[in-house]
Amino acid sequence: MTSVTSGSGRTLTDLFVEAAKQALDESGVDKIDSLYVGNMMSGFLQNQEHLGALMATALGREGVPAYKVEGACASGGVAVNAAVKAVLSGLEEIVLVGAVEKMSGYTTPEVTTGLMMAEDRLKVASTGVTFVGLNAMIAREYMSKYKVGHESLAQFPVLCHQNGLDNPKAQFRRKIEIQDVLESPLVADPLRLLDCSGIGDGAAAILLAPRDVAKKFTDSPVEVAASTVAGDTLSLYQRPTTTTFEASRQASDRAYKQAGITPRDVDLLEVHDAFSILGVMALEDLGFAEKGAGTGLLDEGECARDGRVPTNSFGGLKARGHPVGASGLYQIAEVALQLKNEAGKCQVPCAEVGLTQSVGGIGSTVAIHILRAM
Amino acid sequence: MTSVTSGSGRTLTDLFVEAAKQALDESGVDKIDSLYVGNMMSGFLQNQEHLGALMATALGREGVPAYKVEGACASGGVAVNAAVKAVLSGLEEIVLVGAVEKMSGYTTPEVTTGLMMAEDRLKVASTGVTFVGLNAMIAREYMSKYKVGHESLAQFPVLCHQNGLDNPKAQFRRKIEIQDVLESPLVADPLRLLDCSGIGDGAAAILLAPRDVAKKFTDSPVEVAASTVAGDTLSLYQRPTTTTFEASRQASDRAYKQAGITPRDVDLLEVHDAFSILGVMALEDLGFAEKGAGTGLLDEGECARDGRVPTNSFGGLKARGHPVGASGLYQIAEVALQLKNEAGKCQVPCAEVGLTQSVGGIGSTVAIHILRAM
């Protein structure tokens, strides 16, 4: 993983190559069979597509099959899903998956328009609503339906900032209190600045291979016990309720079946907390709390690193940062480090099973991965 | 497949849904396990990403796993490659793959900039060279190195226009002669207007499934005997020669091995003739002629529908049209129709094995598929 930063002026290629070289160097892998690149916004922001060939060339591996995989903010998650299928197909053995996003260096209208590419341009973006605005509507309905106060939701970013303090690659390494969230500038009522992830640049990369091949390169391989994707309607207005992401439920249900486990077996979670409300909803939709009771886990400290379900142990989207198309791969890399006991100051005790949730758009695409120490 | 048109005002969704519904209706398939969408330019031209969820929703199949796959002008080809791996992985059974591009309704600078997203924005596009310009350099080197005249290259678009006359979905249904090509307006010396594919909108879709499942839905299933992707440097300046696309050679070599055949066994070809020079080079790089001798096949009528290697039997990129991210899927759908003996007036006699070549950028990504009648 690269550090998540803003304003460094580094290009898409700079970022991607740093992460991919790190993955190759640390693993000792020389020959790769293919490359998958997760990214959401390069066409719009950088006027650059064909990231497969661009990044393969920049890595000096221009012969390999390479292409880009996109699922809005879940691009990192779906890129890994595509790569998992490539390995399972038997056609490719050692596969490099990287994801990258560069969001800084553009005007706010540019980035806002870029993010709204995850929603329906003709029917929804055209109304003028922003991506934060849509999430604010969810927060409003959730707070009203379940009688949950903003101060309860605010525990999520507070937790993330606490965890991010120990992650040298985190974008925001600053402790915050609930009061800071409640008093931060209003962005889209009820969401305030500290409810929202920021604008950042970053890249992450991993290597996938069949179990027996992976064991040749490391003493602590991590098993992909499940890789699933589920969808929902593209737009919020098309759904009966906004306070559950049905795609999260379906993708995680399928993932638990694939891995042969239940939520009780999960030792750590990386959830897609682009906004505080999404972090809380994830705890519920993934099966760790009843609907409306997600904040209870936070009240009781169960999501802290020494809690029952350590969540976003490297800081999550809020504090580690959310370079959108890359975040899903940061989550997977972070869980892998935890299971390998290489998470440094972010290490949680005795984790053997970790789950990542990568969300595209307003819960319209969800990729779930369950990783297990081998 | 939709007709390839320009200026109809139809949206990405209109186009995609028409093609996908046709695939579902004609096959009688109801339940699909996933959806892969090939597309190159939606982020830049339509400010729309997340085509997986957008198209799944528009089809009324919003639950299914869905994402976009991009490899510049080879997006259609690489989307099928991703879908083939999904089926081979055993995780998905019936998979819908569609590809769509909408290029009309924009200014020439917009579309030109969009196409150059296939090349390196920072190092190559920034010089002002266009995509036609890069292909013109290839044509110039080829003509000089092999002493081939423009009138020889011009046979390729003449062949495509001849074939396109019989394809009701072709964008350009007009017979042309070699003299028409040579006298058409100069675009980038030596390439003239009729050497170049046009700007068009279109979508195509197919269904993939394991052999035994496919047989339940049709009496004439078509086997995917090979699906390969190979890469090359992103940019032309990084290569020792421009007159061979090494990625075409490598992807087709691997494909012949996968299918257990040689070029002699191929009964029909769909090649990526975005420019006349590329059609001729493809005949060579895919193993049907020695380097520099591709036009010889055209001289002898061997690429005509009644020739030894019928090529671009529906009109190819030049006459059927080249909605860039969708073209690779048109090729595959057309070959499938030929092998099913459902190609109408475009039908070639006795075809059992067909090969498609989908090229991204300046030969930087090449996807090859070999289809075989079952």
Tokens of B111: 């579309």
Residue B322: band (very low, low, confident or very high) from pLDDT cuts 50, 70, 90: very high
> CA B73, CA B324: separation in Å to the nearest integer?
5
Residue from the list A40, A50, A72 with its beta carbon closest to the beta carbon of B360? A50
Residues of A with CB below 8 A from B246's CB? 63
Residue A135: band (very low, low, confident or very high) from pLDDT cuts 50, 70, 90: very high
Q: Is position B161 annotated as part of the catalytic site?
A: no
- Give the count of domains, chain A: 1
Residue B234 three-state SS = coil
Residue A22: band (very low, low, confident or very high) from pLDDT cuts 50, 70, 90: very high
Q: Is residue A288 part of a domain?
A: yes
**A67–B250: do the CB atoms touch at under 8 Å?**
no
Residue B153: band (very low, low, confident or very high) from pLDDT cuts 50, 70, 90: very high
CB A103 within 8 A of CB A335: no
Tell me the CA distances in angstroms from A75 to A81, A203, B43, one per residue in order: 10, 12, 14
For A224-249, the pLDDT digits (tens) are 999 999 999 999 999 999 999 999 99
**B65–A230: do the CB atoms touch at under 8 Å?**
yes
What is the bridge-based pairing of β-strands B222-231 and B365-373? antiparallel
Residue A167: band (very low, low, confident or very high) from pLDDT cuts 50, 70, 90: very high
What is the model's pLDDT at position A335?
98
**B232–A125: do the CB atoms touch at under 8 Å?**
no
Q: Is residue B365 part of a domain?
A: yes
Sequence-ordered strand ranges (E) for B39-133: 66-70, 95-101
For A328-345, the pLDDT digits (tens) are 999 999 999 999 999 999
CB A73 within 8 A of CB A361: yes
Residue A157: band (very low, low, confident or very high) from pLDDT cuts 50, 70, 90: very high
Residue from the list A118, A121, A247 with its beta carbon closest to the beta carbon of B46? A121
Average pLDDT of the segment spanning A201-209: 98
Strand order across the beta sheet in which B268-270 lies:
B222-231, B365-373, B353-360, B268-270
What is the model's pLDDT at position A20?
98
The nearest alpha carbon in chain A to B229 belongs to A65
For A276-332, the pLDDT digits (tens) are 999 999 999 999 999 999 999 999 999 999 999 999 999 999 999 999 999 999 999
**B67–A122: do the CB atoms touch at under 8 Å?**
no
From A161, A322, A346, A369, active-site residue: A322
Q: Which residue has the tokens 């081979």?
A: B88
What is the model's pLDDT at position A8?
93
- Residue window 27-66, chain B: list those with CB within 8 Å of chain A: 34, 40-44, 46-54, 56-57, 62-66
How many Cβ atoms sit within 10 Å of the Cβ of residue A93? 15
Percent pLDDT > 70 in chain B is 100
For B220-276, the pLDDT digits (tens) are 999 999 999 999 999 999 999 999 999 999 999 999 999 999 999 999 999 999 999
Tell me the CA distances in angstroms from B94 to A146, A177, B369, one per residue in order: 40, 50, 19
What is the model's pLDDT at position A63?
93
Residues of B with CB below 8 A from A81's CB? 65, 67
Q: Write the CATH number for B316.
A: 3.40.47.10
Bond preceding residue B323 cis, omega within 30 of 0: no
What is the average pLDDT score of chain B?
A: 97
Percent pLDDT > 90 in chain A is 100
Residue B179 burial (C-beta neighbours within 10 Å; 0-12, 13-18, 19+): exposed
Residue A352 burial (C-beta neighbours within 10 Å; 0-12, 13-18, 19+): middle
**B63–A238: do the CB atoms touch at under 8 Å?**
no
The ipTM of this complex is 0.97
- Residue window 291-310, chain B: list those with CB within 8 Å of chain A: none
Q: Is residue A117 part of a domain?
A: yes
What is the model's pLDDT at position A52?
98
A118 at interface of B, judged by CB pairs closer than 8 A: yes
CA A112-A115-A118 angle, to 5 degrees, is 145
CB A356 within 8 A of CB A270: yes
Q: How many CB pairs under 8 A join A and B?
A: 232
Residues of B with CB below 8 A from A229's CB? 34, 65-67
* Listed residue (A181, A146, A170) closest to A280, CA to CA: A146
Q: Is residue A364 part of a domain?
A: yes
The nearest alpha carbon in chain B to A226 belongs to B91
Residue from the list B89, B90, B234 with its beta carbon closest to the beta carbon of A50? B234
Q: Is residue A79 part of a domain?
A: yes
Beta-carbon contacts of A240 under 8 Å, excluding residues fewer than 6 positions away, are none
Q: Is position A322 annotated as part of the catalytic site?
A: yes
Residue from the list A67, A70, A89 with its beta carbon closest to the beta carbon of B365? A67
Residues of B with CB below 8 A from A68's CB? 69-71
For A76-116, the pLDDT digits (tens) are 999 999 999 999 999 999 999 999 999 999 999 999 999 99
**B65–A40: do the CB atoms touch at under 8 Å?**
no
Which residues form the domain of B98? 12-373
Cα torsion A346, A349, A354, A358 to 10°: value is -30
Residue from the list B89, B113, B122 with its beta carbon closest to the beta carbon of A88? B89
B133 at interface of A, judged by CB pairs closer than 8 A: no
What is the model's pLDDT at position B291?
97
Q: Is residue B2 part of a domain?
A: no
Question: What's the maximum distance between 2 C-alpha atoms anywhere in chain B?
Answer: 57
For B30-85, the pLDDT digits (tens) are 999 999 999 999 999 999 999 999 999 999 999 999 999 999 999 999 999 999 99
Residue from the list A46, A70, A78 with its beta carbon closest to the beta carbon of B70? A70
**B85–A85: do the CB atoms touch at under 8 Å?**
yes
B89 at interface of A, judged by CB pairs closer than 8 A: yes
The nearest alpha carbon in chain B to A53 belongs to B234
Tell me the CA distances in angstroms from A367 to A67, A68, A84, A275, B4, one per residue in order: 19, 16, 12, 18, 34
Chain A contact probe: residue of B16, B55, B67 with most A CBs at under 10 A:
B67
User: In the Cβ-directed half-sphere of A89, how many Cα atoms lie within 13 Å?
Assistant: 26
Q: Is residue B120 part of a domain?
A: yes
Q: Is residue B203 part of a domain?
A: yes
CB A281 within 8 A of CB A135: no
What is the model's pLDDT at position A27?
95
Bond preceding residue B310 cis, omega within 30 of 0: no
From B161, B196, B272, B322, active-site residue: B322
